[in-house]
């Protein structure tokens, strides 16, 4: 398969307005990914599918990933009033939801090419482009990402919940989901299950 | 009841003596027809129990009825999820009395390995009265046969009259249970407190 | 293969979007979730015009057991028993797919004997899965249980082998990252050879009873055909894709394990209909037996676990990996994102049964209701995998 840098320049040349970003993968460098903007994702996908030299005709896997906001304290050395001091700076990165597509080429026995789309944030603007019109295999998987993460896919033909029931309100695979408090009875609890059990069953003295 | 010695003596002479209760229970216990209701992996072991090697039909459960109206026994085999729970209770309500429930596998007893799931009902006994529980993940087909034999013994020991008579002969006992609805975060109600009675725990401080 | 532009224009999926206006004369029925022939808790909302299907929407999620969320809260090794319960017919291939992905993520090597044992158990799994699928398909068609009894008889022999090797009939939990949990006990390989030698007799018996049976031919030929372009675009994999004529088997394409040391053919179909899928499964069973014979002859001695592999306190470095293999249902893939901690940050399963259901509606439109059951049986779904 071509290197990601080559692919990136080809795609940027062919699709107007596309700006891609290569995200390296430290564990498996051969599976590094290309990040694409939701606005051009559809056009990029169509290019990848229809170009005879690439022919990525098979979208194997669509995954949702939740990256919540992170605040990290970073120690920096800065020059203040002529003297070098170590200052702690709090950096916060914006949270977002990400959709990862694994593409393969059945005709050329090639792949995987990994595309990523990111939402703007996790709260009010969670829209990305749906790639179902290009690869029909994304249909159910994008519905699942909508169901479990809350990502809205524009141009999806039938976006509704698939695994949870229709009246369900939360998006359970998010990192900040609080599951319902429905298992109190636990014979040998520990950690947070013990805390919850102690709320339901007041502790009594063990009669020896 | 009749004296066992007298019964044996008469049997040697070719006279068969019984009581209505024994006869009634004997007929019922030896032809328990299960509902074909497999949810997950335990269903495969239930199928294996009905196949040639383990052969549940030796014990009277020859036919697995597809329709709840014709079944006596519901073997809840597999994880009951919250999405499926109303359907399970509805199927139970559709079964005619006398009806029994076997909770097969760790998931049907208490949620099993999937206990931490947001969509997993932590045991079918939160909504339905269970007669026999089979531990295992999945329990072997022999364990299911053992459970069936245990159920048969339980049925054979049921009384027709008196305060501890079977539910279907007691006009005050319910035979249908309320079906839970889908709520925004969980089932509504999350459990049926008339049915689910966990053992009270005393925790040392 | 034609040029992609022509292909893209040529396939037109038939699909009714949700919410279209329906005439009051049509009958809406719900097949499932408790139904003898829906292969588990699966529901189809069908709209019928007389006997013909006008609209069919699959509804799943009745067995959504939150496997992915639970695995994010557990360590990498603790998720291994959950992979058994994913596709509960084929626990060993699910174990292998997960072990493959973690080994890719962490850069672990697997000793030769372990790879051979993995291949032997995977092919045994494939053989018993395909036998049972053929049995279930025939049960759905009305042969109330007899082919299934024969198939389960063979399955019990394979499960006996699994029990003596791994300790459990179905939930084997046998693979570890870097090899297998334990070596085969003495005499196990001979027992496998005996099974492999006697299996073709069962296949011949099965085929003699079924393959030229006129009821089977009438009910499966021409039902639910698929074009190769549509099959690839919809992400179908496994016997469904090969029945449509596409030569894509991950054992030959990715060459994971030591599959490139063995000689075996990939059967392909012409029409993509139910009969082709049934025949491909029967032929794949024969090819698996060939692989098993070759593997049993050439299995080396040696350790079954990588000595450098760490089982406790396993923390692969940060990064991600996608690993896939050819399970009996199709392409089973795992996508893991690690943040350097003991638990995976994101654990995703690419379920072949779920994605193979994408074209269920397309295949069923215009057909009578009885064919819906046959088509569903030929897709070979396992709800543990569809819903996870």
DSSP secondary structure, chain A, as one string:
---HHHHHHHHHHHSTT---EEE--SS-GGG-EEE--HHHHHHHHHHHHH-TTT---EEEEEEEEEE--EEEEEEEEEEETTEEEEEEEEEEE--EEEEEEEEEETTTTEEEEEEEEE-S-SSS--EEE--TTT-TTHHHHHHHHHHHH--EEET-TT---SSS-TT--S-TTSTT----------SS--HHHHHHHHHHS---PPP-
Average pLDDT of the segment spanning C259-267: 91
**Structure confidence by residue, pLDDT tens digits, C327-344:** 999 999 999 999 988 999
Map out the domains of chain C with their CATH numbers. 75-387 (1.10.645.10)
Q: Whole-number mean pLDDT of chain A?
A: 83
Contacts C320 to A, Cβ<8 Å: 25, 27-28, 31
Q: pLDDT-derived band of residue A186, with 50, 70 and 90 as boundaries?
A: low
Using CB atoms, pick whichever of A27, A58, A163 lies closest to residue C387: A163
- Closest by alpha carbon to B45, among C175, C171, C382? C171
Q: How many residues does chain A have?
A: 208
Asked casually if ipTM beats, i.e. exceeds, 0.90, the reply is no
Contact C153 B45 (CB under 8 A): no
pLDDT beyond 80 at A45: yes
Contact C253 A109 (CB under 8 A): yes
The answer to whether the beta carbons of residues C240 and C379 sit under 8 Å apart is yes
**Structure confidence by residue, pLDDT tens digits, B88-133:** 999 999 999 889 999 999 999 988 889 888 899 988 989 999 999 9
Map out the domains of chain A with their CATH numbers. 4-66+98-178 (3.30.460.80)
Q: For residues C317, A58, C132 and C190, what is the CA-based torsion angle, rounded to 10 degrees?
A: -50
Q: How do A110-118 and A96-105 pair as beta strands?
A: antiparallel
What is the rounded CA–CA span in Å between residue B55 and residue B59? 8
**Tokens 């509902």 belong to residue:** B35
| C58 to chain B, closest Cα gap in Å | 15
What is the rounded CA–CA span in Å between residue C274 and residue B193? 49
Q: What's the pLDDT score for residue C116?
A: 94
Q: Is A98 on the interface with C (CB under 8 A)?
A: no
**Tokens 């392409």 belong to residue:** C331
Q: Which of A1, A28, A50 is best to mutate for the C interface (most C CBs within 10 A)?
A: A28
Chain centroid to CA C222: 23
Average pLDDT of the segment spanning A96-120: 90
Chain centroid to CA B8: 33
**Residue A101 token pair:** 């597509």
pLDDT beyond 70 at B5: yes
Contacts C383 to B, Cβ<8 Å: 40
pLDDT beyond 60 at C4: no
Q: How do C43-49 and C52-59 pair as beta strands?
A: antiparallel
Q: How do A21-23 and B34-35 pair as beta strands?
A: unpaired
What is the rounded CA–CA span in Å between residue C292 and residue C301? 17
**Structure confidence by residue, pLDDT tens digits, C360-378:** 988 998 899 999 999 999 9
Share of chain C above pLDDT 90, in %: 59
Q: Residue C47: enclosing H or E segment and its boundaries?
A: strand C43-49
């Amino acid at each position: 398969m071509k290197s990601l840098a080559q692919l990136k320049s080809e795609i940027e040349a062919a699709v107007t307005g596309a700006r891609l970003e290569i995200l390296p993968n430290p564990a498996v460098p051969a599976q590094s990914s290309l990040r694409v903007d939701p606005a051009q994702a559809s056009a990029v996908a169509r290019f990848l599918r229809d170009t005879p030299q690439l022919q990525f005709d098979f979208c194997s896997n669509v995954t949702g990933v939740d990256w919540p906001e992170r605040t990290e304290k970073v120690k920096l050395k800065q020059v203040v009033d002529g003297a070098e001091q170590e200052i702690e700076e709090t950096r916060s990165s914006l949270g977002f939801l990400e959709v990862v597509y694994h593409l393969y080429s059945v005709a050329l026995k090639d792949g995987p090419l990994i595309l990523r789309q990111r939402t703007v944030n996790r709260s009010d603007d969670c829209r990305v482009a749906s790639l179902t019109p290009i690869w029909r295999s994304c249909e159910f998987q994008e519905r699942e990402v909508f169901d479990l993460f809350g990502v809205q896919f524009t141009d999806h033909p039938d976006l509704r919940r698939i695994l949870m029931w229709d009246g369900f309100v939360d998006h359970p695979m998010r990192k900040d989901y609080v599951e319902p408090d429905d298992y109190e009875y636990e014979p040998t609890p520990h950690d947070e299950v013990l805390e919850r059990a102690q709320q339901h069953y007041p502790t009594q003295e063990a009669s020896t | 009841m009749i004296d066992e010695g007298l019964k044996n003596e008469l049997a040697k002479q070719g006279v068969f003596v019984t009581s209505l209760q024994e006869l009634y229970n004997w007929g019922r216990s030896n032809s328990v027809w299960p509902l074909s209701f497999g949810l997950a992996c335990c269903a495969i072991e239930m199928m294996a129990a009905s196949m040639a090697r383990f052969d549940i039909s030796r014990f009277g459960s020859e036919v697995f009825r597809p329709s709840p109206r014709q079944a006596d026994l519901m073997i809840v085999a597999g994880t009951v999820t919250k999405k499926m729970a109303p359907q399970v209770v509805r199927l139970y309500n559709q079964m005619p009395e006398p009806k029994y429930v076997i909770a097969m596998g760790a998931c049907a007893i208490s949620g099993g390995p999937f206990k931490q799931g947001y969509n997993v009902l932590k045991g079918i006994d939160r909504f339905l009265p269970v007669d026999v529980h089979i531990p295992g993940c999945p329990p072997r087909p022999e364990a299911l046969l053992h459970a069936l034999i245990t159920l048969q013994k339980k049925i054979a020991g049921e009384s027709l009259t008196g305060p501890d008579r079977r539910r279907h002969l007691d006009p005050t006992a319910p035979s249908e249970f309320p079906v839970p609805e889908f709520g925004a975060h969980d089932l509504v109600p999350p459990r049926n407190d008339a049915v689910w009675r966990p053992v009270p725990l005393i925790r040392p401080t | 293969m034609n040029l992609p532009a022509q292909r893209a224009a040529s396939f037109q999926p038939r699909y009714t979007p949700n919410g279209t206006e329906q005439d009051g004369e049509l009958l809406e029925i719900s097949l499932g979730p408790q139904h003898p022939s829906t292969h588990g808790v699966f529901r189809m909302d069908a709209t019928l015009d007389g006997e013909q299907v006008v609209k069919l929407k699959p509804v799943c999620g009745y067995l959504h057991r939150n496997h992915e969320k639970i695995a994010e809260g557990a360590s990498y090794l603790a998720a291994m028993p959950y992979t058994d319960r994913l596709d509960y017919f084929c626990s060993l291939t699910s174990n292998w797919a997960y072990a493959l992905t973690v080994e890719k993520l962490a850069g672990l090597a697997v000793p030769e004997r372990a790879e051979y044992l993995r291949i032997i158990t995977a092919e045994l799994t494939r053989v018993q899965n395909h036998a049972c699928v053929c049995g279930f398909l025939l049960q759905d068609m009305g042969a109330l249980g007899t082919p299934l009894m024969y198939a389960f008889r063979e399955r019990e022999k394979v499960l006996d082998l699994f029990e003596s090797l791994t300790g459990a009939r179905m939930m084997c939990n046998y693979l570890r990252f870097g090899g297998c949990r334990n070596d085969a006990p003495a005499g196990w390989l001979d027992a496998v050879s005996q099974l492999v030698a006697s299996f073709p007799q069962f296949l011949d018996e099965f085929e003699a009873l079924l393959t030229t049976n006129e009821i089977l031919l009438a009910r499966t030929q021409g039902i639910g055909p698929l074009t190769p372009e549509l099959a690839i675009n919809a992400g179908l994999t496994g016997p469904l894709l090969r029945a449509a004529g596409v030569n894509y088997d991950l054992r030959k394409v990715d060459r994971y394990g030591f599959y490139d040391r063995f000689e075996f053919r990939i059967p392909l179909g012409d029409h993509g209909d139910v009969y082709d899928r049934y025949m491909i499964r029967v032929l794949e069973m024969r090819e698996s037996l060939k692989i098993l014979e070759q593997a049993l002859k050439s299995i080396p001695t040696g350790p079954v676990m990588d000595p450098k592999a760490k089982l406790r306190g396993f923390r692969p470095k940060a990064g991600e990996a996608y690993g896939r293999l050819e399970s009996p249902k199709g392409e089973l893939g795992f996508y893991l994102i690690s943040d350097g901690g003991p638990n995976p940050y994101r654990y995703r399963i690419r379920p072949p049964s779920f994605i193979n259901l994408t074209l269920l509606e397309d295949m069923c439109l215009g057909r009578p209701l009885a064919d819906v059951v046959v088509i569903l049986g030929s897709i070979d779904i396992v709800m543990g995998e569809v819903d996870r």
